[in-house]
Amino acid sequence: MAALDTPEPSTLRHAFGNVLSLFILLLIGVLAFSIRLFSVIKYESVIHEFDPYFNYRVTQFLTKNGIYDFWNWFDDRTWYPLGRVIGGTVFPGLTLTAGTLWRILNTLNIPLSVETVCVFTAPIFSAFASWATYLLTKEVKGVGAGLTAAALLAMVPSYISRSVAGSYDNEAVAIFALIFTFYLYIKALNTGSLFYATLNAIAYFYMVCSWGGYTFIINLIPMHVLLCIVTGRYSSRLYIAYAPLVVLGTLLASLVPVVGFNAVMTSEHFASFLVFIIIHVVALVYYIKGILSPQMFKVAVTLVVSIGLIVCGAVLAVLIALVASSPTKGWSGRSLSLLDPTYASKYIPIIASVSEHQPPTWPSYFMDINVLAFLVPAGIIACFLPLSDASSFAVLYIATSVYFSGVMVRLMLVLAPAACIMSGIALSEAFGVFTRSIKFQLPGVSQNSPVNVGDTGNVIQNDVVKTEKSEDSLKERPSRKNKKKEKDKTERASVVRQIEKRLLVLPLEASVIAIFLLVLLGAFYVVHCVWAAAEAYSAPSIVLTSRSHDGLHVFDDFREAYGWLRHNTEVDDKVASWWDYGYQTTAMANRTVIVDNNTWNNTHIATVGTAMSSPEKAAWEIFNSLDVKYVLVVFGGLVGYPSDDINKFLWMVRIGGGVFPHIKEPDYLRDGQYRIDSQATPTMLNCLMYKLSYYRFVETDGKGFDRVRNTEIGKKYFKLTHFEEVFTTHHWMVRIFKLKPPKNRIRGKTKKAKSKTSSKRSGTPKKNPWH
Amino acid sequence: MAGRKFLTISLLMLNLLSLLPLLTVSFSPDHPTDRRILVLLDDLALKSSHSIFFTSLQFRGFDLDFKLADDPSIAVKRYGQYLYDGLILFSPSTDRFGGSLDLEGVLDFVDSGHDLILAADVSASDLIRSVAAECGVDFDEDPSAMVIDHTGYSVSQIEGDHTLIAADDFVQSDVILGSTKIEAPVLFKGTGHSLNPGNSLALKVLSASSSAYAANPASKLSNPPSLTGTAVSLVSVVQARNNARIIISGSLDLFSNRLFRSAVQKVGSSYKYEKSGNEQFVTELSKWVFHERGHLKAVNLKHNKVEGTEEPSMYRINDDLEFSVEIFEWAGSSWVPYVADDVQVQFYMMSPYVLKTLSTNQKGLYHTSFKVPDAYGVFQFKVEYQRLGYTSLSLSKQIPVRPFRHNEYERFITTAFPYYGASFSMMAGFFIFSIVYLYNK
């Protein structure tokens, strides 16, 4: 953003500013990367959690077999016996990214393992994401805001939680793609360049490849276009920014196998097509307005509007009829639960059962975006001073993402960049105002460099402006900036807005204190982020640690169990567990699973849920019909690991009962309470999950005290008839049971107890009493 | 001493067992004949009173080791290996076996695939009853009850309580009872038992007639008898899931020389048979129980695409495949081809998608060919062959079926030609329009 009309010394300073901001950006990248390495330093370089294991397995397959086999991969080791067509049901962006990265590194003779590349993909891309944030915010509010926003994003806890080293999930690359797509849209909107618009479509394609959250883009951008049209901001730049995105973006999106015809068939995408039609109508109206006289135009408008309304009504009716004919009104379950937050809990327990699909609590906002929550309103106000196309987009982005994050805690991740952008703007504007106030009241030091180094770029620019035009510097700053911007962009010459507003000059002391407080706020944010990165979000969740008075305890039970399965079972054996552990079992134990975290078949999951909630014999029959050899349950009662299967059990009941109505949730609840102590219902105490979790549990402490539920278990001594325990990990967190084969013989009706006692008391033979 | 010598031999055998499994004569799928049989007796006198039965076994090549049931030296197992391949319990009144053998020991013996003949009698001990009950056979609760049939007794019997029954209600199975029809009725004197109808493993081979009932002949019948009519089973066989075979008889006399030789005339029938059917019945049954008949094996389960011979690791939907399996029956000394027209193969994924009857070449090879269904997933070739008297065959082989690859679909569809035309004409039109618009001024 070169100021063309500035004299020589200022150009030098400007160049210095650019170099400085380049360095700052580099450092922000390093910060973003290194703050995410806590997990590797504190634990080890492993893949985290559940979904990343699947992505890792897919990446291994890709690097081993090449892209065509990946595309056509039919995986027979999951969803037994249905199998899963991986190539057509997976978002390939992340896998392809890491695979390409690995290939490039290997051709450069850097022999990293696939796992290493996968572990570090997320930190690398979060550096990219913060640079993309810089670009986007720069387009909205200038370099200073950009740098601030980038620095904030580099360490925002919400994003860290999904992108620490090892968190090899779609979101790792998708957030970068999201921000970058927005940047290119704004860039195309600001410049009116078809080049950026095309790039935008390609970035959108990358986003579609990476994450299902791409629908956010394809709905937000049309909303913004509509907003611009409604507020009379239609311009040819808007058309150029939008039309190619819809055409090229939709074509490209439908190339991704998992999206395919959904790109034109589902309601998520209809908004973009509708706005596409509207923008053409508007463009036509503007064109006709240009060639007709005002009178003629009025006549034409009444004529066209009356006819157009009829046609539109007809088309709309057809469309509504088509959409209404589908049971979900053309929306996917996840989208519906976004629009109606109560939808999932009412109709789709499988979506509601995932903890990251729950609405967040207020503390989680404070945990995840911390002080940004307070800075966002200031940023929104700053965006309205004055409102440009770009800043209106930022406002729209924050408004929608706040709503979405309120519905699903997982979408906090979408909110985080918006909050960073807004806070960056707010901070940079505030610093601008305060430093300017200080400068005016200290005339002797006007040449000094500004106080805050972190915002140098922006402040330097402001300085340049101020020292030059000290006479008319009472003009509002952002409008000046806009004017400067418009000088670069010849297209926008007609939209000059002259908003005269007296600049508020604050008292010196107030400014100093305010700056001090802002720095304090920033410091608090940094401290919180580092703490969150180091303590809260770095646990890989397959290895757990706990600190007690006698030192650090490491719970490596999951890998112990998967290792046991890998070494002690046949290659083709089937392992049943609740779907959470499906991905890990296939990736780490290399055994076939019945259900996994890709919850595409509700019936199949319900079958497993039903088996877990059935009594032993019925469960055995269900598992046997699925050729299951081993059943794996996660049990936290001994060490107090709260996310175990007993705590998830009600969801199994609900999901199972949703398909098989003989499983009824009230049977498992005593007076609406979920309990496993002596007050629990007999159904609960006899179901398979209870038995497998608590089998032999009383032997540990003699009482059977469950440390998660903080109660003594209800049924302590029981035997398993159709299952046998084959492996229990060190801390009892994973227990593996084997299905017993069917009885070799079928017993008669005669009581066995009789023979037992008689064989014991064989000294006094119980001869025929009739003799 | 014979016992010691036997011990040495069996130790030697054990060595061979562990070193050269192929040389052993123990039960194995390749040589399903049992050779060494432990016979537990209540009284060594049984050895002579039932000598015809024992001799017929020895004549067929079995080593019989007679022991008293309470002999303290009884051991069926040593160092984890079974010393015997079959067990005959002719000790209905024993309460406790000698040595290390107990109820669990007998059941483990069966569960590890060995065969058992159990003969109970009136007032059989709890131990014998428990063994039977564990195998699914419930003897009459009243230990003194006998099977009485006032219309089906044997006339040769002089006593008036009608407990010597001439039974001729055999199970219709050539496999169990041999292909020669048993003409003469079988004489039976002893206690009856019942089977749970839900028990698919146990089977009545000799049932009482509809007029039979079980009661104590000495006492007056005060209550209705618990077992009546054809529900009373006299001799039953059990084939466990691991194909171990068991005979359970309610009468020890059934096997005795006396009943083997006695003539029989059923009441109400004028024809008098010179010899009862017992010998034939018992001999045929013992052939079955010791796997000389009705033991099948299935080998060489193979499948391949019609156009190839290699066994693929995965099929594609709508592939044509060939499937074959060889089934043989043990004929006492060698495997002979098993011929039947009812062997079926399933192509199974939660339910059979394809169910085909296999055609045979009469030499044991069964084969068929079919098209893989238009559904992908992990399928199994399943051969479930369960026929009365035969060992059950249950084979399955897992095979995944994948969908089309991206380049295996039809490239150009005839019905879509209008659409191809439309898009190409659109492109051409756009091109011409651009030229006209840009350069026509």
Q: For A470-517, give the DSSP string.
A: -TTTTS-HHHHHHHHHHHH-GGGGGG------PPPPPPHHHHHHHHHH
Q: Rounded to an integer, what is the distance from CA A561 to the centroid of its chain?
A: 29
**SS3 labels along chain B:** CHHHHHHHHHHHHHHHHHHCHHHCCCCCCCCCCCCEEEEEECCCCHHHHCHHHHHHHHHCCCEEEEEECCCCCCCCEECCEECCCEEEEECCCCCCCCCCCCHHHHHHHHHCCCEEEEECCCCCCHHHHHHHHHCCEEECCCCCCEEEECCCEECCCCCCCCCCEEECEECCCHHHHCCCCCCCCEEECCCCEEECCCCCCEEEEEECCCCEEEECCCCCCCCCCCCEHHHCEEEEEEECCCCCEEEEECCCHHHCHHHHHCCECECCCCCCECCCCHHHHHHHHHHHHCCCCCCEEEEEEEEEECCCCCCCCCEECCCEEEEEEEEEEECCCCEEECCCCCCEEEEEECEEEEEEECEECCCCEEEEEEECCCCCEEEEEEEEECCCCCCCEEEEEEEEEECCCCCCCCCCCHHHHHHHHHHHHHHHHHHHHHHHHHHCC
Contacts of residue B398 in chain A, CB cutoff 8 Å? Answer: 572
Which of A480-484, A710-714, B239-243, B384-388 has the lowest average pLDDT? A480-484
d(CA A78, CA A73): 12
pLDDT at residue A474 above 50? no
Question: Is there a contact between B196 and A747 (Cβ–Cβ < 8 Å)?
Answer: no
Residue A8 pLDDT class (50, 70, 90 cuts): low
What is the predicted pLDDT for the residue at B322?
A: 93
Q: What are phi and psi of B153, to 5 degrees?
A: -80, 165
State which amino acid sits at residue A42. K
Check if B202 contacts A (Cβ < 8 Å).
yes
Contacts of residue A600 in chain B, CB cutoff 8 Å? Answer: none
Q: Rounded to an integer, what is the distance from CA B393 to the centroid of its chain?
A: 9
d(CA A428, CA A424): 6
pLDDT tens per residue across span A629-638: 999 999 988 8
Residue A504 pLDDT class (50, 70, 90 cuts): low
Between B409 and A494, residue with greater pLDDT: B409
pLDDT at residue B371 above 90? yes
What is the predicted pLDDT for the residue at B158?
A: 60
Kindly state the percentage of chain A with pLDDT values over 90.
Answer: 46
Highest mean pLDDT among A519-533, A588-602, B181-195: A519-533
Closest CA to B37 of B81, B84, B90: B84
Residue A289 pLDDT class (50, 70, 90 cuts): confident
Q: Which residues contact A108 (CB under 8 A, 6 or more apart)?
A: none
Contacts of residue A81 in chain B, CB cutoff 8 Å? Answer: 349-350, 377-380
Residue A270 pLDDT class (50, 70, 90 cuts): confident
What is the predicted pLDDT for the residue at A330?
A: 62
pLDDT at residue A767 above 50? no
Radius of gyration of chain A (CA): 32
* Secondary structure (3-state) at A673: strand
What is the predicted pLDDT for the residue at A545?
A: 81
pLDDT at residue A481 above 50? no
pLDDT at residue B11 above 70? no
d(CA B316, CA B244): 40
What is the predicted pLDDT for the residue at A172?
A: 87
d(CA B218, CA B215): 9
d(CA B239, CA B203): 8
Question: Is there a contact between A425 and A478 (Cβ–Cβ < 8 Å)?
Answer: no
Mean pLDDT of A576-603: 89
What is the predicted pLDDT for the residue at B156?
A: 65
Planar angle of CA A212, A218, A224, nearest 5 degrees? 140
Radius of gyration of chain B (CA): 31
Spell out where A635-747 has E strands. 705-706, 711-712, 723-728, 734-739
pLDDT at residue A619 above 90? yes
What is the predicted pLDDT for the residue at B24?
A: 37
Highest mean pLDDT among A327-336, A505-514, B50-59, B221-230: B50-59
Q: Which residues contact A534 (CB under 8 A, 6 or more apart)?
A: A38, A42
Mean pLDDT of A715-741: 91
pLDDT at residue A3 above 60? no
d(CA A560, CA A581): 14
Residue A456 pLDDT class (50, 70, 90 cuts): very low
Check if B285 contacts A (Cβ < 8 Å).
no
pLDDT at residue A758 above 50? no
pLDDT tens per residue across span A85-94: 988 889 999 9
pLDDT at residue A119 above 90? yes
> Do residue B238 and residue A83 have CB atoms under 8 angstroms apart?
no
Which of A585-589, B154-158, B273-277 has the lowest average pLDDT? B154-158
Q: Say which of B198, B240, B377 has its CB closest to residue A745.
A: B240
pLDDT at residue A488 above 80? no
Between A157 and B3, residue with greater pLDDT: A157
* Secondary structure (3-state) at A735: strand
- Nearest-Cα distance to chain A for B81, in Å, is 19
What is the predicted pLDDT for the residue at A174?
A: 93
Task: Output the average pLDDT for chain B.
Answer: 85
pLDDT tens per residue across span A154-209: 999 999 998 999 899 998 899 999 999 999 999 999 999 999 999 999 999 999 99
* Residue A157 vs residues A161, A408, A541: alpha-carbon distances, Å: 6, 17, 17
pLDDT at residue A487 above 60? no
Check if B11 contacts A (Cβ < 8 Å).
no
Residue A494 pLDDT class (50, 70, 90 cuts): very low
Which of A557-566, B29-38, B249-258, B412-421 has the lowest average pLDDT? B29-38
pLDDT at residue B350 above 80? yes
What is the predicted pLDDT for the residue at A610?
A: 93
pLDDT at residue A6 above 60? no
Between B332 and A413, residue with greater pLDDT: A413
pLDDT tens per residue across span B65-80: 998 888 888 888 888 8
What is the predicted pLDDT for the residue at A478?
A: 43
> Do residue B138 and residue A749 have CB atoms under 8 angstroms apart?
yes
Contacts 24+ apart (CB under 8 A), A5-8: A6/A464, A6/A468
Contacts of residue B198 in chain A, CB cutoff 8 Å? Answer: 746
Q: Say which of B95, B137, B349 has its CB closest to residue A762.
A: B95
d(CA A43, CA A329): 47
- Of the residues A72, A82, A746, A768, the best mutation for testing chain B's interface (the one with the most B CB atoms within 10 Å of its CB) is A746
Question: Is there a contact between B64 and B37 (Cβ–Cβ < 8 Å)?
Answer: yes
* Residue A686 vs residues A155, A710, B391: alpha-carbon distances, Å: 49, 20, 36
What is the predicted pLDDT for the residue at A293?
A: 82
Kindly state the percentage of chain B with pLDDT values over 90.
Answer: 28
pLDDT at residue A1 above 50? no
* Helices B51-59 and B278-289, axial angle in degrees (round to 10): 40
Question: Is there a contact between A377 and A355 (Cβ–Cβ < 8 Å)?
Answer: no
Strands B377-385 and B344-349: antiparallel
What is the predicted pLDDT for the residue at A561?
A: 93
- Nearest-Cα distance to chain A for B375, in Å, is 9
Check if B221 contacts A (Cβ < 8 Å).
no
- Whether the ipTM is more than 0.95: the answer is no
pLDDT at residue A351 above 80? no
pLDDT at residue A651 above 80? yes
Q: Say which of A81, A755, A770 has its CB closest to residue B378.
A: A81
* β-strand partners of B393: B385
What is the predicted pLDDT for the residue at B162?
A: 81
Mean pLDDT of A552-563: 89
Task: Output the average pLDDT for chain A.
Answer: 83
- Of the residues B106, B130, B392, B397, the best mutation for testing chain A's interface (the one with the most A CB atoms within 10 Å of its CB) is B130
State which amino acid sits at residue B191. T
What is the predicted pLDDT for the residue at A328?
A: 62
pLDDT at residue A455 above 50? no
Residue A104 pLDDT class (50, 70, 90 cuts): very high
Closest CA to B378 of B317, B305, B304, B300: B317
Residue A480 pLDDT class (50, 70, 90 cuts): very low
